Amino acid sequence: MRVIGLCRFSYPAIGGFKRMHETLAEREAYLYAPERMDLRFRHFECLTLPSIAAQQHEDFTFLILVGESLPKPYRERLYDLTSNIPQIKIVESPPMKQRTAMQTVIKKELGEDKTHSIQFRLDDDDAVAVNFTRSLRWFVKHTATLRKNWRYMAIEYNRGFSVNLSEHGIMAEEVQSPFWACGLAVLFRPGDPLTVMNFPHHKLHLEMPTLLHPTPRMYLRAKHEDNDSAESYQTGPMRLLNDDERLLFKQQFNVDEDRVKAVFSGSRECGG
């Protein structure tokens, strides 16, 4: 069984963004603006990367989709940051429609596709719990009889945190979400032509049987000024973490508040 995650890192897709641009050049100028790239890298370094690096079940692949036009300094930085995580593969692609590009990447990674696959997507500014891939495998193992006549199945973890990162640390609000992408995965049978990217994440439960686990805190979703879904992503009051929550974030997500403070203050003393 394959476990495959997919992350779009400033990929200049044709469509797929709520912020519209008239030309590809305008989209690339927006995506690769230094201030924006700095913000994306800071979140990627503090949230996405440490959570992927610390997965308790190491048998998975995490694909990072980038554009062939990604400027050299950013490309080199991304390859350098991910070089010591064997599960990560960076895939460079020319501009395509977002879903087509991401489906193509997944299907290429599956190759002959002779076994079940669990597929998930994760934004470059979010995190999953360190037991995420292990828990997905547990679900599959223990639902064999239940799902024997199902073509595919969604697995939903709907509890986690909205977070805001800054030089002051981490502000957070615990939430239960309505099918956010960062808490979802889909199990596919061998040879299925579809992928997780064929389905809008917020409508998965309308398309297939879904198993929902509301207890574990399984994701961190970042809230900041560059959220593409800023208008629809509303949060309640956030507050700085207390000592128990700092420990929880470190143990559950491999996210360290001291590192966040260092990265967002411009310092790299904490291993950046």
Q: What is the pLDDT of residues 63-73, one digit of tens each?
A: 999 999 999 99
Could you give the CA distance from residue 21 to residue 23 in angstroms, rounded to a whole number? 6
Q: What is the pLDDT of residues 75-101, one digit of tens each?
A: 999 999 999 999 999 999 999 998 899
Domain hosting residue 189, numbered range: 2-264
Could you give the CA distance from residue 264 to residue 190 in angstroms, rounded to a whole number? 43
Which pLDDT score, from 0 to 100, does residue 12 have? 93
Q: Which pLDDT band, with edges at 50, 70 and 90, does 269 fall under? A: very low
Residue 272 domain-assigned? no
Instruction: Give the chain's count of helices (H) and strands (E).
Output: 9, 12
Residue 35 domain-assigned? yes
Query: Phi/psi at 65 (nearest 5 deg)?
Result: -90, 125
CA–chain centroid gap for 158, Å, is: 15
Query: Phi/psi at 242 (nearest 5 deg)?
Result: -90, 180
CB atoms within 10 A of CB 25: 11
Which pLDDT score, from 0 to 100, does residue 225 have? 80
Q: 152: domain CATH number? A: 3.90.550
Which pLDDT score, from 0 to 100, does residue 96 have? 92
Q: How many domains does the chain have?
A: 1
Could you give the CA distance from residue 220 to residue 126 in angstroms, rounded to a whole number? 6
Residue 270 domain-assigned? no
* Statement: residue 115 has pLDDT above 50: yes
pTM: 0.93
Which pLDDT score, from 0 to 100, does residue 268 have? 46
Residue 173 domain-assigned? yes
| Residue 229 · residue 123 · CB < 8 Å | no
Query: Phi/psi at 153 (nearest 5 deg)?
Result: -145, 135
Least confident of 16-25, 85-94, 193-202, 205-214: 16-25
Q: What is the mean pLDDT of residues 176-198?
A: 94
SS3 67: strand
Residue 209 domain-assigned? yes
SS3 4: strand
Which pLDDT score, from 0 to 100, does residue 14 have? 83
CA distances from 59 to 102, 107, 136, 137 (A): 21, 18, 12, 10
Residue 121 domain-assigned? yes
Tell which wins on pLDDT, 270 or 10: 10
Residue 74 domain-assigned? yes
Could you give the CA distance from residue 98 to residue 78 in angstroms, rounded to a whole number? 20
Which pLDDT score, from 0 to 100, does residue 16 have? 54
Task: Say which DSSP state 224 is in.
Answer: -
Which pLDDT score, from 0 to 100, does residue 234 have? 67
Residue 271 domain-assigned? no
Name 247's Cβ contacts closer than 8 Å, sequence gap at least 6.
Answer: none
Could you give the CA distance from residue 219 to residue 128 in angstroms, rounded to a whole number? 4
Q: Which residues of 131-168 are buried (b: 16+ CB within 10 A; e: fewer)?
A: bbbbbbeebbeebeeebeeeebbbbbbbbbbbbbbeee
HSE-up (13 A, CA, CB side) for residue 196? 28
